[in-house]
Amino acid sequence: MNFEDNQALFIEEARDRLQTIEGSLVILEKQPADMDLVNEVFRGLHTIKGSGSMFGFQSVADFTHHVESLFDEVRSGHFPVDSRIIDIGLRSVDCISLLLAGGDGGEERLGILSAIEGLEGDGAGERVSRAVRAAEAEEGEPRPRVTAPGSGPERIFRLSFRPQKDLLHRGVRLETLFRELSSLGSCHVTAVTEAVPELGELEPSLLHMSWLITISTREDLEAVRSVFIFVEDYCELAISPVELGAGEEGIMVPKLGEILVDRGFLQDSDVEEIRQEQKPFGAVAIDKGKVSAEHVEAALAEQAMVRTIGSERESRQEAATIRVRKEKLDGLMDLVGELVILQAMMEQEAKKDSAGAFASLSENLGRLSADLRDTSMSMRIVPLQEFFMGFQRLVRDLSAQVGKPLRLEISGGSTELDKNVIELLKDPLVHIIRNSADHGVETPELRSRLGKAPVATISIDARQVGPRVEISIADDGAGLDMGRIRERAVEKGLIGAGETDEERIRSMVFEPGFSTSEKTTDISGRGVGLDVVKRNLERLRGEVSLSSEEGRGAKLTLSIPLTLVIIDGLLVMIGGHNYVIGLNQVQECVDMTASARGAGGRDSMLNLRGMTIPIIALRESLMIDGDYDGLARLVIVNSEGASVGLEVDAVVGRKQVVIKPLSRAVSSIKAVSGATILGDGSVALILDVAEIVRARIGR
């Protein structure tokens, strides 16, 4: 892999980390006391900074270093988590994304650094101010190289630091030393105060304390020792690595007594004596005067670090992954598709084999190719949780824009969907959420008068239904104003003045250029949005439905196939040619009698078990000449919530087909969405049922 490949890999991983950081920041705003989230943000920034410097993204590394320093102050308790910190963090995520894309972002960078400078907190503001002034002075000048973080396995070191009493007279600032040490990893410092004299004998300018330090880091011993390079001659410093014992179930967590013996604070005989008390080991050891409370605290910190490293390694082993480029997975799916076609051809030939040996081989190959197909498809299937979490930021920003308190509820994040489909779903979901925030949700004052909660809720729910995934986006706002929709639709000539069908009126919101908003804003009012949703869903062979309850809110449901490559279809015959109808749309197949057909074409209707169903003659829709050969068949399909009968010559049977894109010459034919190759080598066109129904009966 060359340097350019490494850079591309860094950008890809950095964007993943930025997405995680953004999600953590949005949650942190609601849970400001959660230090795990603060640490997660800090670690993400630390990794981007170090890797950015390593792969030549110096502007990314330098800017991220300042933001990382801010969150280091936050986790040290110098800054509380508030809206200012969250705003700076989110703006920084956007700025780093811009830098990764090759943008400059100079003004935005200085704006963020100035915002950091404006914070106050126990001397931290002064340090950041110096960073800002340095950044302003060095704008356009070469920046110092940032050291990349250690890439080795997590290690634990014990440190005993006993400075000379006059160390402070030499201009040494211990807080700076400890902060540099903590930047290497997770650090626990215990102050040993047993040598501190009584107050009357205390000399304030002298040091009487020593420190026991335990650090978990990916750096090596020399990197840890280098922190003390300027004070090493004026202190007693001992650094020793902790051996991580391995057992059958992973890293063995040592007992407290073992650590105290290993540190030299206890003898083996002391451990046996204390254990006989049948009480907490640390408390007994302190009560008996064997060790000090500081020694026990340091040992407990080491024990906790070993336990943490063990659990992290176990998690990584359980969830080991390999990053594979999307193009390779797409290529694999193309090859699997060709294999499915080849297997179908072999199956066709096997039917002619009277001996049966070829048929047996074909059957085995079919089973193996089906397993390979399912495995390959599952490699592109990912949970929706991470995708949904990205909308937390969108809702937060929309809340500020529209002046309405909003919150996003997510459920069904474990539902899985093809990665390619997820990428195409982003724009539709953004449009829906923006419409909910601007149109659907009432103002806080109106919600208060209506007895609703002041904070409006937008919810996203996902679930798998057979071979499809349904994603519902709902709000608890006012619902659709059916009167206003009907009025605007009549004005635009989309429906007649006497139209009373609510479903027909409700469907007007999907028409291009349709909007009930009186004014245009940055969010909506231009007549684009839900029509884009519908078009994008049709590209995915999906469907969208809308429901609403006045005063209670509205809900949009998107129904999408799990994958775009291989589908289950119903093979039908029309005019001597094969066509495929998506099996997910088929409800049933029935015989079409001459009396039921009536006049034929768009005027035909069928009474099926008391339900009147319109019939579409596919010969007419596809402009195929000739009459039906014998008794025609009806395929009853579901199109946008309504049952429709498609009249065909014959139903051949169920087939799993590989979708092939159409050439430009035929891609403009709306009635056809793709093509496939059958086992005998012939080509069958895949019908777009929604377009056929819309063209014939206007649904």
Q: How far apart are CA 348 and CA 122, in angstroms?
A: 79
- Domain 382-561 CATH superfamily: Histidine kinase-like ATPase, C-terminal domain (3.30.565.10)
* Tokens describing residue 387: 């995708």
Identify residue 342 by its one-letter amino acid code. L
Which residues, given as ranges, of the chain have pLDDT below 70?
1-6, 120-152, 245-252, 278-279, 310-322, 353-356, 466-467, 516-529, 562-565, 593-603, 628-630, 640-641, 661-668, 698-699
Nearest alpha-carbon partner for 225 in 209, 210, 241: 241
The CATH number given to 326-380 is 1.10.287
Number of H helices, E strands in the chain: 24, 23
Nearest alpha-carbon partner for 538 in 477, 586, 585, 587: 585
Residue 569 and residue 657 in contact, taking contact as beta carbons nearer than 8 Å: yes
* Confidence at residue 251, expressed as pLDDT on a 0 to 100 scale: 65
- Give the tens place of pLDDT for each residue, 128-183: 555 444 544 444 443 333 344 454 577 889 899 999 988 888 777 788 788 888 87
The CATH number given to 566-697 is 2.30.30.40
* Confidence at residue 142, expressed as pLDDT on a 0 to 100 scale: 37
* Confidence at residue 355, expressed as pLDDT on a 0 to 100 scale: 59
Q: How far apart are CA 522 and CA 285, in angstroms?
A: 67
Q: How far apart are CA 633 and CA 73, in angstroms?
A: 73
Asked if the domains at 3-137 and 382-561 fall in one CATH topology, the answer is no
* Confidence at residue 311, expressed as pLDDT on a 0 to 100 scale: 62
* Confidence at residue 497, expressed as pLDDT on a 0 to 100 scale: 80
* Confidence at residue 596, expressed as pLDDT on a 0 to 100 scale: 55
Residue 577 and residue 680 in contact, taking contact as beta carbons nearer than 8 Å: no
Nearest alpha-carbon partner for 458 in 525, 405, 420, 514: 405
In the CATH hierarchy, which fold is given to the domain comprising 3-137? Four Helix Bundle (Hemerythrin (Met), subunit A) (1.20.120)
* Tokens describing residue 493: 């000539």
Domain ranges of the chain: 3-137, 155-318, 326-380, 382-561, 566-697
Q: How far apart are CA 372 and CA 40, in angstroms?
A: 38
Q: pTM for the whole thing?
A: 0.57
- Give the tens place of pLDDT for each residue, 449-478: 888 888 999 999 998 775 678 899 999 988
- Give the tens place of pLDDT for each residue, 312-350: 655 555 445 667 777 788 788 778 877 877 877 787 777
